[in-house]
Amino acid sequence: MNTTLKIAMAQLAPVWLDKGATLNKIEKAITDAAKDNCELIVFGEALLPGYPFWLALTGGAEWNTKVNKELHAHYVSQSICIEKGELDVVCKLAKEHKMAVYLGIMERPLDRGGHSIYASLVYINPEGDIKSVHRKLQPTYDERLTWAPGDGNGLQVHPLKAFTVGGLNCWENWMPLPRTALYGQGENLHIAVWPGSDHNTKDITRFIARESRSFVVSVSSLMSKSDFPENTPHLEAILKNAPDTLANGGSCIAGPDGEWIVEPVIHKEGLIIQSIDFNRVLEERQNFDPVGHYSRPDVTKLTVNRERQSTVEIK
């Protein structure tokens, strides 16, 4: 078996809160990655249709305000309902180019009523099938004002050539037990998606790689003050307190020894392409394997609930 895998990190700025225009950028990135014979492409957290930057800029915790209600409603209306086929074109491109895709979306799922949204990481295999949708377990800080907490259904790994790949959203990469849930299923290529900025990726990417003895691919988005569309609700209120740069990127790759393969890339939009070799995983597992020869399941063991949570069960 060919032990190498060619990866494209798509470090993009969304067309903020415009799912149609952002999907066009995603589709172009997949097509461009195919020209370089990439076998996996990864996009940042909540790229489709964008991260809720307004929460920190417009008093997002203020109760019952017109600004927060109208921005939230706009956000929900631009979020993705997978059941309605809103990722079908992405799936078609994945199949056409025989390319796996990890894509960060704001999901508006019908199995939770269709009005709440979840920061979800979608895995599409090279056959164009959606194999898992991981809803972020715990929204971080002000994200809780607009995102709902997810469940364990998406704590899954997937075969990809010689690799076993899994992924987590943003700060849940800091959660030891979800990481362990993926390690225990054989993960050796870990995908970490972020809304942006190297302050998130520069330390934990290498830490997870060294802990797990796996490759770790961190992919972030970009966002600058000029990226807010003119038709954004309450744009003036958002821009009043917005810094020039809200997300500077920071996409990177660490090898199974915890050393950089691609150091964090900032302030650069486009594809960052790198090939990795599975044999490096086996080399580093020789002296440490956190769920194999260097574990004690008779002493400590993790239980994972992968049931998809829903308020209504219809029998």
H/E stretch holding 123: strand 118-124
Which one of 143, 170, 187, 252 is the catalytic residue?
170
Question: pTM (2 decimals)?
Answer: 0.96
Structure tokens at 49: 């249709």
Per-residue pLDDT reduced to its tens digit, 87-127: 999 999 999 999 999 999 999 999 999 999 999 999 999 99
The mean pLDDT of the chain is: 97
Please confirm, yes or no, whether 252 is among the known catalytic residues.
Answer: no
The domain ranges of the chain are 4-285
Class of domain 4-285: alpha beta
How many whole angstroms separate alpha carbon 12 and alpha carbon 43? Answer: 8
Residue 1 has pLDDT above 80, yes or no: no
Please confirm, yes or no, whether 45 is among the known catalytic residues.
Answer: yes
Structure confidence at residue 313 as a pLDDT band (50, 70, 90): confident
- Mean pLDDT throughout 308-313? 91
Structure tokens at 138: 């715990």
> How many of the other CB atoms lie within 10 Å of CB of 96?
12
Structure tokens at 223: 């966002």
Which one of 19, 39, 45, 107 is the catalytic residue?
45
Please confirm, yes or no, whether 6 is among the known catalytic residues.
Answer: no
Which one of 136, 161, 252, 284 is the catalytic residue?
136
